[in-house]
């Protein structure tokens, strides 16, 4: 679902860790959070692998990129590994987030509980529709896009979500870059031209459906 | 962003092709569609790789799982490769799609242009709210979930999107399975218990933000 640029499977010159490994860190984190919620204090690469459909070797290899986390005879201590993965992902600190575009998608994302659970707090929303500006949606104030530099500085906002129609996406991105935003999650199906220091991930929901289509037309072998 | 179960990086017993390769097919398809839109008739693994940030060897290796698509001295014929990839993904045929849950997210997905562009047509929507049933959203009729078997049969619906709150997701999934749905794209942040013949991909949007967070806290090496 991410832009290709963000998902090569092999190490790139940008970073020594393959992006596929980083994306699996999120999956390990979720399973660990589930395990803790279910009262488990420790786990193993075998259990994590089984829960996720990976081999235990894959789990160990992925984590080995970042350090040594297991204990002989114990395995992984869940909350310790959660803390370590969050630190690697940068979500050991809360992120203040802005969202631009308050159509159905933007409003849906503002109500999306999963963000807050993982440490992402939407603190400001931006639009250009006078009917929306000054209102509050899901408890978050809606500002005019023209004010994004001031608001971003005031609230220490480093990440933003673009949920505007494609024709407006680049203009919005330019405004966000000028406001000092460092990372953009882009739901508009266009490739953004951004300076190198600004990171971006493009979300293309049709890719998920294509993957589903593939798995339906290529069912698992019987037996 | 997909359920771990759907995204191991290595071949699984389910399928000889690694899921990461299948997900890159979607990315190749998008770039090929852009190239055709821009008037290109042919391309090369080098060009595709450059556009996507992969090596040309990666592109060739991925495509080699499915056959021989290049021509010596020419490279790939774009529309031929588009047709081939669509056939592999199963999107050479149109898919009739249902969506369950018409909150902000469901309505946003109904208006999501990207689905139709890739051959996915939402032909029915389901909810349990009497205020919504019988209405039409984005030109699509809204039915009661209780009618999903009949509607699915009538419209040959094989795939469905779940966009209901987590506590209702399993009940909805059970109804979809009983209606003969073969693939489910699940936006509710819960793992669904499904019979083996039903394929599912779970969408967790917080994973995209975690990946963005990682890329912001681990900027590319200078130079």
Measured from the Cβ of residue A61, the count of other Cβ atoms closer than 10 Å reads 13
For chain A positions 51-70, those within 8 Å of chain B (CB to CB) are 51-55, 58
Query: Could you tell me how many helices (H) and strands (E) chain A has, helices first?
Result: 9, 9
In a domain, B215, yes or no: no
Name the residue range of residue B100's domain. 95-207
**How high is the pLDDT of residue A7?**
39
Q: Assess B107–A contact: CB distance below 8 Å, yes or no.
A: yes
Domain end position, chosen among A88, A116, A141: A88
In a domain, A14, yes or no: yes
The answer to whether residues A111 and A68 belong to one domain is no
Distance from CA of A169 to the nearest CA of B (A): 15
Quick one: average pLDDT of A67-80? 95
Domain end position, chosen among B89, B107, B135: B89
**How high is the pLDDT of residue A11?**
43
Asked if B97's CB is within 8 angstroms of A204's CB, the reply is: no
Q: Which two tokens stand for residue B129?
A: 């709210």
**How high is the pLDDT of residue A222?**
59
Phi, psi of B188 (to 5 degrees): -75, 130
Asked if A23's CB is within 8 angstroms of B211's CB, the reply is: yes
Quick one: average pLDDT of B176-181? 98
In a domain, B100, yes or no: yes
In a domain, B223, yes or no: no
The answer to whether residues B83 and B107 belong to one domain is no
Q: Which of A43-57, A199-213, B7-21 has the lowest mean pLDDT?
A: B7-21
Here the ipTM equals 0.89
Which residues of chain A make contact with B199, given a CB cutoff of 8 A? 212, 215-216, 219
The answer to whether residues A106 and A203 belong to one domain is yes
Q: Which residues pair with B183 in a beta bridge?
A: B159, B199
Asked if A201's CB is within 8 angstroms of B208's CB, the reply is: yes
Q: Assess A192–B contact: CB distance below 8 Å, yes or no.
A: no
The answer to whether residues B117 and B186 belong to one domain is yes
Query: Which residue among B108, B200, B216 sits closest to A108, beta carbon to beta carbon?
Result: B108
The answer to whether residues B30 and B117 belong to one domain is no
The answer to whether residues B172 and B186 belong to one domain is yes
Rounded Cα–Cα distance for residues B14 and A218 (Å): 9
pTM, entire model = 0.80
**How high is the pLDDT of residue A219?**
86
Q: What percent of chain B has pLDDT over 90?
A: 74
Which pLDDT band, with edges at 50, 70 and 90, does B166 fall under? confident
**Residue B201, helix vs strand vs coil:** strand
- How many whole angstroms from its chain centre is CA A176? 18
Q: Is the pLDDT of residue A2 over 50?
A: no
**How high is the pLDDT of residue B129?**
96
**Residue B143, helix vs strand vs coil:** strand
**How high is the pLDDT of residue B189?**
79
The answer to whether residues A65 and A100 belong to one domain is no
Q: Which of A85-89, A177-181, B30-34 has the lowest mean pLDDT?
A: B30-34
**How high is the pLDDT of residue B112?**
85
For chain A positions 24-53, those within 8 Å of chain B (CB to CB) are 24-27, 29-31, 51-53
Q: Assess A127–B contact: CB distance below 8 Å, yes or no.
A: no
In a domain, A13, yes or no: yes
Q: What is the pLDDT of residues A104-152, one digit of tens each?
A: 899 989 988 889 889 999 999 999 999 999 999 999 999 999 999 999 9
In a domain, B149, yes or no: yes
Query: Which residue among A15, A182, A220 sits closest to B220, beta carbon to beta carbon?
Result: A15
Asked if B214's CB is within 8 angstroms of A89's CB, the reply is: yes
Average pLDDT of chain A to the nearest whole number: 90
For chain B positions 68-97, those within 8 Å of chain A (CB to CB) are 88-91, 95, 97
The answer to whether residues A52 and A69 belong to one domain is yes
Asked if A103's CB is within 8 angstroms of B108's CB, the reply is: yes
Q: Is the pLDDT of residue B9 over 50?
A: no
The answer to whether residues B64 and B124 belong to one domain is no
Q: Which residues pair with A136 in a beta bridge?
A: A141
The answer to whether residues B29 and B118 belong to one domain is no
The answer to whether residues A33 and A70 belong to one domain is yes
Contacts of A111 (CB under 8 A, 6+ apart): A138, B103, B104, B105
Distance from CA of B145 to the nearest CA of A (A): 21
Contacts of B16 (CB under 8 A, 6+ apart): B65
**How high is the pLDDT of residue B54?**
81
CATH number of the domain bearing residue A81? 1.10.10.10
Measured from the Cβ of residue B120, the count of other Cβ atoms closer than 10 Å reads 24
In a domain, B101, yes or no: yes
Q: Is the pLDDT of residue B134 over 80?
A: yes
In a domain, B216, yes or no: no
Which pLDDT band, with edges at 50, 70 and 90, does B191 fall under? confident
Which residues of chain B make contact with A184, given a CB cutoff of 8 A? 212
Domain end position, chosen among B61, B89, B117: B89
Quick one: average pLDDT of B70-98? 96
Rounded Cα–Cα distance for residues B122 and B173 (Å): 17
Q: Which two tokens stand for residue B87?
A: 């056939």
Distance from CA of B143 to the nearest CA of A (A): 20
Quick one: average pLDDT of A32-58? 92
CATH number of the domain bearing residue A202? 3.40.50.720
What is the number of domains present in chain B?
2
For chain A positions 129-168, those within 8 Å of chain B (CB to CB) are 158-159
Which pLDDT band, with edges at 50, 70 and 90, does B222 fall under? low
Average pLDDT of chain B to the nearest whole number: 90
Angle between the N-to-C axes of helices B19-37 and B45-52, in degrees from 0 to 180, rounded to the nearest 10: 100
The answer to whether residues A83 and A110 belong to one domain is no
Quick one: average pLDDT of A5-28? 66
């Amino acid at each position: 679902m991410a832009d290709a640029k963000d998902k090569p499977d092999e190490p790139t010159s940008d970073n020594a860790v393959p992006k596929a490994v980083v994306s699996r860190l999120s999956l390990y984190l979720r399973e660990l959070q589930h395990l803790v919620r279910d009262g488990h204090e420790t786990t193993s690469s075998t259990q994590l692998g089984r829960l996720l459909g990976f081999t235990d070797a894959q789990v160990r290899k992925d984590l080995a990129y970042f350090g040594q986390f297991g204990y002989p005879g114990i395995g992984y201590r869940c909350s310790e590994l959660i803390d370590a993965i969050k630190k690697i992902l940068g979500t050991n600190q809360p992120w203040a987030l802005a969202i631009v575009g308050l159509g159905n998608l933007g409003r849906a994302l503002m109500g999306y509980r999963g963000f807050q659970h993982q440490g992402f707090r939407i603190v400001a929303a931006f639009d250009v529709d006078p009917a929306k500006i000054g209102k509050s949606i899901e408890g978050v104030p809606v500002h005019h896009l023209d004010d994004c530099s001031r608001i971003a500085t005031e609230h220490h906002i480093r990440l933003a979500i673009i949920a505007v129609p494609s024709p407006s996406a680049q203009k919005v991105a330019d405004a966000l870059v000028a406001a000092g935003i460092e990372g953009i999650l882009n739901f508009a199906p266009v490739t953004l031209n951004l300076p190198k220091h600004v990171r971006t991930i493009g979300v293309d929901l049709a890719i998920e459906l294509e993957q589903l289509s593939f798995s339906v037309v290529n069912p698992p072998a019987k037996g």
